[in-house]
Amino acid sequence: MTLRKNSPVAAAIALSLGAALSGCATSDSQSNMTLNSVAQPVVERQNFAIDLASSANGLSYPEQQRLAGWFETMNLKYGDRVALDGPVVNQAVQDQIAAIAGRYGILLSAGAPVTDGFVNPGTVRVVVSRTRAYVPGCPNWSDTAQGNGTSSDYGCAVNSNLAAMIADPEHLLHGATGTGETVVMSSTKAIDSYREQKPTGGQPLGGVSTTQGASN
């Protein structure tokens, strides 16, 4: 079959080819043309609060039990932050709450986040801030025709594993706070201990008795 240049069939084929090419160009222009993954971890924070009746002498025993039960229900763990809020929080209340939180290896944080509602006088609000990290939209297999860019799922596995394994998700935002001790100082502790040990040859030899051997 021979198509003439100005025939309707030739024009229809030209239009369909143009639409297909334009579709491919659009797909390529929207794809990721770099080696940087667009699937990045997101850190999400939630605040949970409980109000406890307090006095100048601290918390009553039933209130301490209620706080301990709440911590257990919350499954308090590493990475959580516990802060106190209220009009007046005396030292006795702080010490009691710090002791209960210390059972889970948690120290009280300075400065409580803003929560809903008003803290009534004579009460203390205990706020637990919990963060989690995840990669939204992963896995993503929507890009079946990759074109010249990277796959739509590129980076999902690595970044999702990173978000799942990190103990404190806030370290993804600002990193861990240092203690002033460098890695070099930590790694040389064993070497310094080895060098500071007195040579074994300078110590007196232990006494050896041959009486028992002779009697046998």
pLDDT digits (tens, 9 = 90+) for 54-100: 988 889 999 999 999 999 999 998 889 999 998 878 899 999 999 99
| Domain limits, the chain | 45-131
Q: Are 25 and 111 contacting, i.e. CB atoms less than 8 angstroms apart?
A: no
Write down the residue that tokens 């229809």 correspond to: 12
Mean pLDDT on 14-31: 46
pLDDT at 145 over 90: no
Residue 129 banded pLDDT, cuts 50, 70, 90 = very high
User: Rounded distance, CA 213 to CA 200, Å?
Assistant: 27
Mean pLDDT on 197-216: 66
User: Rounded distance, CA 46 to CA 32, Å?
Assistant: 32
Model pLDDT, residue 178 = 65
pTM equals 0.58
